[in-house]
Structure 1
Amino acid sequence: MSAGDRLELLGRGQGLPLFPLEGGRMARVEGPEKVRQSIFIILDTEPGERVMLPEFGCGLRRFLMQPNNGATRAQIEREVRLALQRWEPRIQLEQVDVLPGADAALIQIDVQYLHVYSGRRDSLVYPFYLE
C-alpha cells in the first residue's frame, strides 16, 4: 500500500472549527490531523446529540460536578477507552491516562494511539473541566 493510499484511508474533510480561508474557501484537513479531529469530536459529543446516530459519542458531561478523585478518573478512562474503540476504527489505542490537572476541577485525558494504516504513533491531551 502506497503512502497516498494510506493517507486516503485516514480520511480528509472539513477542518474544524469551520472558518473561511483567504479567497472564501473552507479549511480542509486530511490524514493524521483528520483522525485527531475525529477523536476530539468523539470526546466532545454526548450520546443522543446526533439524531441519525444517537449512540455516538463519549458522554463525558455526565461527570460534571463529580469529585476529581481516582474513582471518577477511572470511570472516565473506561468511558473514553470504550468510545474510541467503538467509534474510531483508524486507530489502535495504546494507552488512556486520566490525570488531575493544575486546577482542582481540571483533568487531562492523555490518549496514546497507533494509526492502524500507517503504524505511526500519535498522542493527544484532551482537557476536561469537572465543574
Structure 2
Amino acid sequence: MDIAYPFRIDQRGRVASATENEHILQMIEQLLFTSPGERVNRPDFGSNLQQLIFSPNSAELAVATEFIVKGALEQWLGDVIAVEGVVISTVESTLQVKVQYVVLRTQQRQIGEFSR
C-alpha cells in the first residue's frame, strides 16, 4: 500500500493509503496539474497543462499539448507506466484529460480520466 494523495488521515486515525492502481492515478494527476517551478527541489517537474485552460482552442494547440503531456508522463513516470495515448479537450472552462497506459509491473491496460 502507498500513501494516498492528497495526504490525509483516514477514519481509523492513520495515514490514508491507496492501492497500486489508485496510487498510479494519483501520481498522474499530480504530474498533470503541477506547473513547472512549483516544486522546490524539482523545478522542471510538471506538465504546464493548467495554462491550456486560458489559451484559445485550436487543433494545433491540442496536438502540441498532448505531445508535451505524453513526454512529461514518460519522463517522470516511465518506470511505472507505458503511455499509449493522451487526449486533451476543453469544454468551456473545464479541462479534460484522458490517459491510456499500461502498468509495467502487472501489464494491465488502464485509462485515467482527469478534469479541472
What code does the residue aligned with 1:75 have? A
Deviation at 1:39, TM superposition (A): 0.5
Does residue 91 of structure 1 match 2:81? yes
Give the whole-Å Cα distance in 2 for the aligned partners of 1:85 and 1:46: 16
Unaligned runs of 5+ in 1: 1-11
Greater than 6 Å deviation, 4+ residue runs: none
Distance 1:25 1:65, change over 3 A: same
Tell me the TM-score normalized by structure 2: 0.87
Q: Report SS of the residue matched to 1:24.
A: coil
Match of 1:107 in 2: 95
Cα offsets for 1:35-75 (capped at 9, x unmatched):
11110110011111111111111111332421122122112
Given candidates 35, 38, 47, the residue that maps to 1:49 is 38
- Counterpart in the other structure of 2:60: 71
**Percent identity of equivalent pairs:** 29
Q: Of the two, which has the highest radius of gyration?
A: 1
RMSD: 1.6
Residues 68 and 105, structure 1, Cα contact 8 Å, conserved in 2: no
Q: Which has the higher contact order (CA 8 A, sep 6+)?
A: 1
TM-score (norm 1): 0.78
Unaligned runs of 5+ in 2: none
User: Secondary structure of the equivalent of 2:54?
Assistant: coil
